[in-house]
């Protein structure tokens, strides 16, 4: 069975009228587990009710929590989520919180060594403690998957570039691509040439850029693949990119073709955007019905 470890933030997304468990690594792990992949999360929560509820939820959903740490000083992370008129989410991220202080240990090092891949994001390295742990774990990982997650002011050009150079696969959205090109002084005239320039600068041969409702572009071993997206009434975009990433890399690691992997990822990402919260569960019949509606 494939085994994937996700590193970084777990938290509570605070909406105007409710709250939901979230955080990109957690969302990716839950989606992968729903596809039959053994997953664990390396993270840190506070010694509080919110942290305890996250651990209970992960355990209930089948995600390994033996790599989750308890912090007795800092509280469990929270993010205030605001939705605009298009139900696109923006985030106000509390700091410092427990996941900023993930400590290196032999146990989490062994977990990464025994996994087929390590999924990590740029946000989790905003604090030196978690960043140092991540850099140590990247030396142990067989295959490194980076989710570029630009949340001002929680990143710097040098730190981003270092992480991207260590990644085997990079995922970002079209807005992040534009911002990254500005940071790296890349001035190409189309998305494919921008992606190629980033691939050359970071020595990364696998890059995917999501484009919201317009699908995604995948650069995979010197070939480009495209999906133009699926029509959906957006409820909220929270977690859509995480489910997209989980679906895409899982299928690629399982040796599915790049085009089929991209198509499946765009489909699941669209279904999540058309649902409430980051981790809706879809039955095969719901997926089949969605495909039927699209055709």
Concatenated DSSP letters for 14-29? E-SS-EEEE-HHHHHH
User: Is the model more confident about 83 or about 37?
Assistant: 37
In tens, the pLDDT along 159-192 reads: 999 999 999 999 999 999 999 999 889 988 899 9
Domains and CATH numbers, the chain: 3-283 (3.40.1190.20)
Q: What is the pLDDT of residue 169?
A: 98
Q: What is the pLDDT of residue 82?
A: 84
Helix, coil or strand: residue 70:
strand
For residue 100, is pLDDT > 80?
yes
DSSP-assigned states of every residue in 89-151? EEEEE-SS-GGGGPPP-HHHHHHHHTSSEEEEESGGGSSHHHHHHHHHHHTT-SSEEEE----
Confidence of residue 225 (pLDDT cuts 50, 70, 90): very high
Q: What's the mean pLDDT in 70-80?
A: 96
Q: What is the pLDDT of residue 85?
A: 79
Inter-helix orientation angle 191-202/174-183, to 10°: 60
Q: What is the pLDDT of residue 49?
A: 97
pTM: 0.93
For residue 103, is pLDDT > 90?
yes
Confidence of residue 235 (pLDDT cuts 50, 70, 90): confident
Confidence of residue 211 (pLDDT cuts 50, 70, 90): very high
In tens, the pLDDT along 194-203 reads: 999 999 999 9
In tens, the pLDDT along 11-23 reads: 998 888 888 898 9
């Amino acid at each position: 069975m494939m085994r994937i470890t996700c590193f970084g933030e777990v938290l509570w997304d605070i909406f105007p009228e409710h709250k939901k468990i979230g955080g990109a690594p957690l969302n990716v792990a839950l989606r992968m587990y729903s596809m039959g992949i053994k997953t664990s999360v390396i993270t840190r929560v506070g010694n509080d009710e919110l942290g305890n509820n996250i651990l209970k939820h992960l355990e209930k959903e089948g995600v390994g929590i033996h790599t989750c740490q308890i912090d007795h000083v800092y509280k469990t992370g929270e993010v205030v989520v605001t939705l605009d008129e298009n139900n696109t989410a923006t985030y106000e991220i509390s700091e410092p919180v427990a996941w900023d202080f993930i400590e290196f240990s032999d146990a989490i090092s062994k977990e990464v060594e025994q996994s087929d891949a390590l999924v990590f994001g740029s946000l989790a390295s905003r604090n030196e403690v978690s960043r140092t742990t991540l850099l140590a774990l990247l030396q142990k990982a067989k295959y490194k998957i980076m989710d570029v997650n630009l949340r001002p002011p929680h990143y710097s050009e040098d730190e981003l570039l270092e992480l991207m150079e260590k990644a085997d696969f990079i995922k970002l959205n079209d807005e992040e691509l534009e911002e990254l090109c500005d940071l790296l002084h890349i001035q190409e005239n189309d998305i494919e040439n921008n992606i190629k320039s980033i691939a050359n600068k970071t020595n990364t041969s696998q890059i995917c850029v999501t484009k919201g409702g317009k699908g995604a572009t995948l650069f995979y071993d010197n070939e480009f693949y495209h999906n133009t997206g699926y029509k959906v009434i957006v409820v909220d975009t929270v977690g859509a990119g995480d489910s997209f990433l989980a679906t895409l890399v899982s299928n690629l690691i399982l040796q599915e073709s790049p085009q089929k992997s991209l198509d499946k990822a765009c489909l699941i990402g669209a279904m999540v955007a058309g649902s409430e919260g980051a981790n809706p569960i879809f039955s095969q019949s719901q997926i089949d019905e969605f495909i039927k509606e699209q055709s």
